[in-house]
Amino acid sequence: MNLCKPAAALLLIVAGATAQAASLTLVPSAATVAPGGAFTVDLVLDATSAPGMHPGTFSGQILLDFNNTQLSYGGFVAALGASGASDDVTFYLPPALATIGISQTVSFGFVKPGDVGMVGTFSFTALGAPGTLAKLGLVDGDDFFESSFVNKDPTDQRFTPLITGAQVSIVPLPAGLWLLGTAVGALALRRRFRTTAT
Partner 1 sequence: MQKLLALAAVALLTLPLLTTSGVAHADPVARSNSDCAELLERWAGDPKAAPKRDIDACKDQLAAMSPTDLAPVVADPAPATLADTDPCAGPNAGDSVLCWGPWAALAPAAAAPLVALNLPESPIDCDVISELAAQCVPKLEPVLPIEGCAPGTPCGFATIVSGPTSTGDPENTEFGLFNLAPDGTTFNVSPESGGEINAVPMTTTVTPRPDGDGNLRATGTQGDVGSRLIARVQQDEDGDVLLAADIWTHGTRNNAQSGYFAWGTATSAVGLNALNAGNVTLNFSGPMSVNNATTGNMTLKFGGSPTWSGTWTNPAYSFGAGGVVSGANLISQPTKFTDNVVGTGNFVQGALVGEAGGPRGIAHIIDVTLAGQGRIKDVGLLREVVPGLPIGP
Q: Is 49 in the site for partner 1 (CB under 8 A)?
A: no
> Which are the contacts of 114, defined by CB distance < 8 A and separation ≥ 6?
55, 56, 57, 81, 87
Nearer to partner 1, 135 or 152 (CB): 152
Rounded CA separation 180/112 (Å): 45
Please give the single-letter amino acid code of residue 116.
V
Q: Which of 142, 165, 169, 171 binds partner 1 (CB under 8 A)?
A: 142
Q: Which of 59, 67, 68, 123 binds partner 1 (CB under 8 A)?
A: 59
Please list every residue from 83 through 122 that binds partner 1, using CB under 8 A.
86, 90, 92-93, 109, 111
Q: Which of 97, 146, 173, 192 binds partner 1 (CB under 8 A)?
A: 146
Rounded CA separation 54/3 (Å): 39
**SS3 of residue 138 by DSSP:** strand
Give how far the C-alpha of residue 100 lies from the chain's centroid of Cα atoms, to the nearest Å.
Answer: 21
Nearer to partner 1, 52 or 117 (CB): 52
Q: How far is the CB of 155 from partner 1 (least distance, A)?
A: 4
Work out the number of other CB atoms within 10 angstroms of the CB of residue 121: 18
Rounded CA separation 163/58 (Å): 15
Nearer to partner 1, 47 or 168 (CB): 47
Q: Is 53 in the site for partner 1 (CB under 8 A)?
A: yes
Which residues of the chain form contacts with partner 1 (CB under 8 A)? 51-53, 57, 59, 86, 90, 92-93, 109, 111, 142, 144-147, 150, 152, 154-158
